[in-house]
Structure 1
Amino acid sequence: MPTRIIRSFADLDAMQGRVGHVLTLFSGGLDSSYVLKELVQRKLRVTALSVDVGEGCQLQDLQEITAFFGVDLKVVDAKEEFAAEAVAPAICAQARYLGTYPVSSSLSRPILAKIAVNVARELGCDAIIHAANQSQNSLRRLNGAIEQLDFDGCYGTPYERSVLTRDEKIEALRVLGLTRFQARGISGDANLWCREFESGSLDNPEGFWAPPSLFEWTRRREGDVPSCELQIEFRKGRPSAVNGRQMELVPLIAHLNDAVGAFQIGRYSGLEHLAGGEKVLEIREAPAATVLMDAYRQLETAVLDAELLREKVSLEMLWTREAVEGRWFGPLRLCVDAFIRHASEKVTGTVTYQLRQGAMDICAIKAPHPLYLTDRDGWEKSLVDDVFQPPNPTNRRHEEALA
């Protein structure tokens, strides 16, 4: 049997004659297309798996590239699964990297890995290959999830130890007749929760430029966008309605990305660490994530005990750390998730914002069973009345009779 963890193109050589069927995660981008080439040239049987978590993949492009290499293509729509199993718990866990920006690929990679393992078992594949490289945290997140799911075949990425430039990959594919790829620029990753970008003009944190064309949800609209009111409803910790309109989670997120993004709310830039401790810059836009996590925090503060909230806040960083480090299916995140999920059962109510350019002003929090006060003066008066209530003579005579 070849090396269990695939780290280089030499490891692909070791798979020849020993691996019967390879499943490769395929996005249609340069890296995954080059991996297809390498697998096919080794005469391995290959199925390319594309998992849609809301990035809007172009089916025709996927079909053209896989047909070019003569491999089977399987496309799985996982938007609902991603929303239910990753996004919904991330809202409750306030999943922000170091408390700054919403995590994204940390949420999508475990879903991709889970589907890949399920499809590999269904098709009888004895290897799962992906195309993450050394400077992408997806490498440890995908590998970690596949391992935690007890896949017993080979898995990994040949880019972990085999390094090729983008130009080298483009030229190799061009020689074969595949000419759709361009010179290196900004690279991106997208799902229904977040769009994130890196490399190219974003490489150097000491001076970087994000072209306006990069942004889709938070792009500047033509003319003035009038301020408006936005009400978000939660039921047992899950977003359920916008402005009184009941919606499932996937269309609700899409609606908020457009409605909140119109005010250019939800742009982030920040550094994220690699496995060795080095930092890389990422730019992202996530308007729905911005407002949903803020609304959830406001509402849970209204209904949960202060000591419970303090403990939850400390556990949120632990939940996020385990996701970021690729331990999504590990016991620690699952235990913390159970705590957070239990606390979310009481989070029901509505939060209302006034949206204006670049800002969302909260103007109402309403819960059916709140801990907040609506009449401070009345509350204080009732406390005083309870403490200094004069004794009731009738009650005193009754007590004396009993004595």
Structure 2
Amino acid sequence: MGRAKKVVLAYSGGVDTSVCIPYLKHEWGVEEVITLAADLGQGEELEPIREKALKSGASESLVIDVRESFIRDYAFAAIQANALYENRYPLGTALARPLIAKILVETAEKYGADAIAHGCTGKGNDQVRFDVSCAALNPSLKILAPAREWGMSREETIAYGERFGIPAPVKKSSPYSIDKNLLGRSIEAGVLEDPNVEPPEEIYEMTKAIADTPDVPEYMEIGFRNGIPVTINGEEKSPIGMIECLNTAAGNHGIGRIDMIENRLVGIKSREIYESPAMTVLIQAHRDLESLILTADVTHYKRGIEETYTQMVYNGLWYSPLKAALDAFIQKTQERVNGTVRVKLYKGNAIIVGRSSGNSMYTPDLATYGADDKFDHKAAEGFIYVWGLPTRIWAQIGK
């Protein structure tokens, strides 16, 4: 089944992507498989993963550190858009996919490959994100998804790999399916497939149980420049440093746990558990700062844009004309989003307790009810007359 001669395979080191290597070569007639592992801050030792790919039959095994770009170009853009899928999930996994697709395509072009491949199954969202993103970046590349077509159970997949020298997992594998990067963790499967079962504490890694969190709140001041977080308590942070600092601080207070029934793009509902401490705090702080700075009509209109933006990212349309147009709108709204937000971290909650900005539209002498009130109360009567005129006419005609 010679679909391609040279393939770049998105590689994680797991059973499926390892078995993809001999499967592509022996079942589909691929002559050369180059593997690519993206370092997104998953914390795993990537050198053993690189070596495993070579032992599994890859002609070359690449590891590319994309952590800086992941935060700067993808996570920060999502913060500016206040991107929360179904108003809860900060897209930690979804945001990584267009970046992986980008380096897959770049690597395929560099090595003269005629296809890219991934190990996604037919039930998840990632297959859509990879296929659509790669097609958008280079429509001439073929896209291969062996695990979507081979029809093997996990046991059969492991047995197939053993035939080609790929060792079975040494220890009993976790019942959970976990994806991890700098932005957080997603956990599914096992007992979590019953939506009525409380998640066991053992599944969490980045966040403390509320009972184990400090009894004293922690205050942090987060500084934003053009809608991008740049300082913590007045200290400049690199993009990676910003996320790592807030993951630790917020996770220590039990902030960032999400347990939701999620509507997948492929039409099924799935129970998903997420840990995303930094993104939870940053989106909340950013949205609050916007409320101080943006006009009412921009704020309200942007909410609809944010919803569309979030769905597009979740649905794998990062590289699309509408997404590019929404980016332009969002960037324009961020030109004045400069200032500081004070956040209280306590017992699973990130509570906004203060905000300030040189571009604030909050005017004390208009907002006050005290003696310094400068608002022209007499003007309100004429405003109400004009504002309510259509409603009044409608009511009169109806009588």
TM-score after normalising by structure 1 = 0.87
Pair 1:235-2:225 in alignment:
yes
Larger displacement relative to structure 2 (277-286 or 217-226): 217-226
Measure the CA separation in 1 of the matches of 2:340 and 2:252: 22
- The 3 A distance-change label for structure 1 pair 345 and 70 is same
* Correspondences of 1:44-123 after superposition (within 5 Å): 44-71=31-58, 72-123=60-111
Are the aligned partners of 1:47 and 1:73 in contact in 2 as well (CA < 8 Å)?
A: yes
Are the aligned partners of 2:121 and 2:127 in contact in 1 as well (CA < 8 Å)?
A: yes
Work out which of the residue numbers 9, 32, 35 in structure 2 matches 1:24.
Answer: 9
Equivalenced residues, count: 371
* Correspondences of 1:120-159 after superposition (within 5 Å): 120-159=108-147
Describe the SS at the equivalent of 2:261: strand
Describe the SS at the equivalent of 1:329: coil
* Correspondences of 1:196-275 after superposition (within 5 Å): 196-205=186-195, 207-220=196-209, 224=214, 226-275=216-265
Residue number in structure 1 paired with 2:385: none
Are the aligned partners of 1:170 and 1:183 in contact in 2 as well (CA < 8 Å)?
A: no
* Correspondences of 1:158-197 after superposition (within 5 Å): 158-175=146-163, 176=165, 178-180=167-169, 182-183=172-173, 185-197=175-187
Residue number in structure 1 paired with 2:344: 354
Are the aligned partners of 1:40 and 1:69 in contact in 2 as well (CA < 8 Å)?
A: no
- The 3 A distance-change label for structure 1 pair 301 and 170 is same
Are the aligned partners of 2:263 and 2:269 in contact in 1 as well (CA < 8 Å)?
A: yes
Larger displacement relative to structure 2 (149-158 or 331-340): 149-158
Residue number in structure 2 paired with 1:364: 354
Deviations 1:373-394 (A, max 9, x none): 335136863235998xxxxxxx
Measure the CA separation in 2 of the matches of 1:223 and 1:352: 20
Deviations 1:95-139 (A, max 9, x none): 111112211222110000011000110111111000111121000
Residue number in structure 1 paired with 2:373: 381
Are the aligned partners of 2:108 and 2:114 in contact in 1 as well (CA < 8 Å)?
A: yes
Are the aligned partners of 1:272 and 1:280 in contact in 2 as well (CA < 8 Å)?
A: yes
Once the two structures are TM-superposed, the CA of residue 177 in structure 1 deviates from its matched residue by 5.1
Which protein shows a greater Rg?
1
Once the two structures are TM-superposed, the CA of residue 183 in structure 1 deviates from its matched residue by 4.6
Larger displacement relative to structure 2 (111-120 or 265-274): 265-274
Letter in 2 for 1:54: G
Deviation >4 Å, runs of 4+: 181-184, 220-223, 384-387
Give the CA RMSD over aligned residues: 2.1
Work out which of the residue numbers 320, 329, 340 in structure 1 matches 2:310.
Answer: 320
Are the aligned partners of 1:117 and 1:149 in contact in 2 as well (CA < 8 Å)?
A: yes
Measure the CA separation in 1 of the matches of 2:134 and 2:89: 26
TM-score after normalising by structure 2 = 0.87
Are the aligned partners of 1:166 and 1:184 in contact in 2 as well (CA < 8 Å)?
A: no
Letter in 1 for 2:35: A
* Correspondences of 1:286-325 after superposition (within 5 Å): 286-325=276-315
Measure the CA separation in 2 of the matches of 1:111 and 1:178: 30
Describe the SS at the equivalent of 2:374: helix
Unmatched runs of 5 consecutive residues or more in structure 2: 380-399
Unmatched runs of 5 consecutive residues or more in structure 1: 1-12, 388-403
Once the two structures are TM-superposed, the CA of residue 320 in structure 1 deviates from its matched residue by 0.9
Measure the CA separation in 2 of the matches of 1:98 and 1:107: 15
Once the two structures are TM-superposed, the CA of residue 204 in structure 1 deviates from its matched residue by 2.5
Describe the SS at the equivalent of 2:119: coil
Describe the SS at the equivalent of 1:208: coil
